[in-house]
Amino acid sequence: MFLYVTVGTNDVKRARAFYDPVLAALGMVCSMEDESEVGYGPLDPKPGQRARTFYATKPFLKYPATWGNGTLVAFDAPSRAAVDAFHAAAIANGGSDDGAPGLRPYHASFYSCYVRDPDGNKLSAVCEKPE
């Protein structure tokens, strides 16, 4: 199990403008921001649950942020409609399409989409529930 995930950004304000609506489609909100990072987590964390599980951050060593070839962050979506909303919000807010929403061959209920954020990080939203 992962504690949290980070992706690099060269522009924290641009990252927030992208991630606020994209992650809202999955019920996540920004709960911290400073000059070097933004952090997202559940709207109403339960007792003992982390307030933030995803961050977009400027690299600590001050080198430019770059995307990782072969790196993908997949978010658990509560429904296929949430996958569709995630994809639409990403495209509408400066992201690019890397695979439209739809069923994938991994198993009969694997419904996902793939996008790139404005820094080139590859993201996916996945719903594995049959609908």
In a domain, 65, yes or no: no
Element (H, E) at 91: helix 80-92
CATH assignment of the domain containing 26 = 3.10.180.10
Where do the H-state alpha helices sit in the chain?
Answer: 12-24, 80-92
Coil, helix or strand for 33? strand
Task: Render pLDDT for 49-72 as a digit per residue (tens, 0 to 9).
Answer: 899 999 999 999 989 999 999 999
Mean pLDDT of 107-116: 97
Task: Render pLDDT for 17-33 as a digit per residue (tens, 0 to 9).
Answer: 999 999 999 999 999 99
Question: Phi-psi region for residue 120, left (φ > 0), alpha (ψ -120 to 50) or beta?
Answer: left
Q: What pLDDT band is residue 6 in, cutting at 50, 70 and 90?
A: very high
* Residue 107, pLDDT score: 95
* Residue 131, pLDDT score: 77
In a domain, 64, yes or no: no
Its domain, for residue 109, covers: 5-59+71-127
